[in-house]
């Protein structure tokens, strides 16, 4: 019996010495090398569960609107004048039935909505407008911007796509810095070529356009030659590129919803265009924009 114990102790001591010399991980005094059934397995660390995406609120309690002349309802009520009461986003005109009226009701529009758009604004101005919107702590911000980046005196003057992207990305960052939980609805840029196709049949519209309305698309509206058609195609392609930027950048923000090209695809008829410039939306056109926005925002 003693001899057996001496042999066991000697074997254990030899095994321990072997472990020390070879530095084999998991080696035990019982003679194992860490590969046996008693060895501890290196289990992979569990991956952290990503937080759930925020649920889109279909009934936000306040609305801030940023953008350009369309959101200011320019030429919707009177010639060469803003008409914010007819704005698709925050207007109080019951005939338009703006997004704010649909979401908040007439009794809350005045105190719970803000129209921060500016006629003539381009995407480079959006970061400043977004910062102003963030200061109001709105639950929803609407964005309609980009038409003026394509509507320049000449097609060569259009805002480069990467500059457009940089400004829009910065604008969302400015909003998030001040209002991290605000939802954002982003409208696509309208199809300017379709507006040309609709308005060019009006003699009055053609005369007004000569004053310099969106020269890149509307100059020489009756010219169907190759050069004029190529110019209009360039402008439309740029609008398509702008809309792709809006879609891509918005998709990176869990609280941002792009309209999927709904405004770009809307066929504005004569009744939806201003009777003074045949380009900006009329009251009826503003109402159609409000309908599109409400459908997108109320979709679960």
Q: How confident is the model at residue 237 (pLDDT cuts 50, 70, 90)?
A: very high
Is the confidence at residue 272, as pLDDT, over 80? yes
The model's pLDDT over 45-65, given as tens digits with 9 standing for 90+, comes to 777 777 677 889 999 999 999
What pLDDT is stored for residue 42 in this prediction?
Answer: 63
107 is written with which tokens? 């009794």
User: Which region holds residue 81: left if phi is over 0, alpha if psi is between -120 and 50, else beta?
Assistant: beta
What pLDDT is stored for residue 18 in this prediction?
Answer: 36
| Domain extents in the chain | 63-297
% of the chain at pLDDT higher than 70:
85
The class of domain 63-297 in CATH terms is alpha beta
The model's pLDDT over 110-157, given as tens digits with 9 standing for 90+, comes to 999 999 999 999 999 999 999 999 999 999 999 999 999 999 999 999
| Residue 263: C-alpha distances to residues 7, 188, 202, 211 (Å) | 89, 6, 23, 26
Rounded average pLDDT over 7-23: 40
What pLDDT is stored for residue 46 in this prediction?
Answer: 74
Is the confidence at residue 27, as pLDDT, over 90? no
């Amino acid at each position: 019996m003693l001899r057996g114990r001496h042999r066991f102790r000697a074997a254990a001591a030899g095994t321990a010495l072997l472990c020390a010399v070879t530095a084999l991980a998991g080696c035990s005094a019982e003679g194992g090398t860490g590969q046996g059934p008693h060895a501890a397995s290196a289990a992979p660390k569990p991956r952290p569960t990503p937080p759930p995406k925020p649920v889109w609120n279909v009934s936000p309690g306040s609305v801030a609107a940023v953008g350009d002349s369309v959101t200011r309802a320019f030429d919707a009520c009177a010639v060469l004048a803003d008409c914010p009461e007819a704005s698709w986003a925050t207007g109080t005109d019951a005939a338009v039935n703006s997004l704010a009226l649909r979401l908040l009701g007439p009794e809350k529009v005045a105190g719970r909505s803000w129209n921060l758009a500016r006629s003539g604004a381009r995407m480079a101005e959006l970061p400043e407008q977004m910062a102003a919107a963030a200061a109001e702590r709105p639950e929803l911000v609407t964005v309609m911007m980009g038409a003026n980046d394509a509507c320049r005196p000449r097609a060569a003057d259009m805002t480069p796509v990467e500059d457009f992207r940089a400004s829009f990305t910065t604008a969302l960052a400015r909003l998030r810095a001040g209002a991290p939980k605000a939802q954002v609805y982003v409208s696509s840029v309208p199809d300017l070529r379709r507006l040309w196709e609709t308005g060019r049949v009006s003699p009055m519209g053609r005369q007004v356009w000569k004053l310099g309305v969106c020269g890149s698309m509307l100059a020489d509206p009756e010219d169907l030659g190759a050069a004029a058609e190529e110019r209009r195609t360039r402008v439309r392609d740029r609008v398509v590129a702008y809309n792709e930027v809006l879609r891509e950048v918005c998709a990176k923000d869990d609280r941002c919803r792009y309209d999927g090209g709904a405004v770009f695809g809307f066929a504005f008829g004569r009744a939806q265009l201003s009777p003074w410039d045949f380009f900006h939306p009329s009251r009826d056109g503003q109402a159609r924009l409000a309908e599109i926005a409400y459908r997108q925002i109320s979709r679960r």
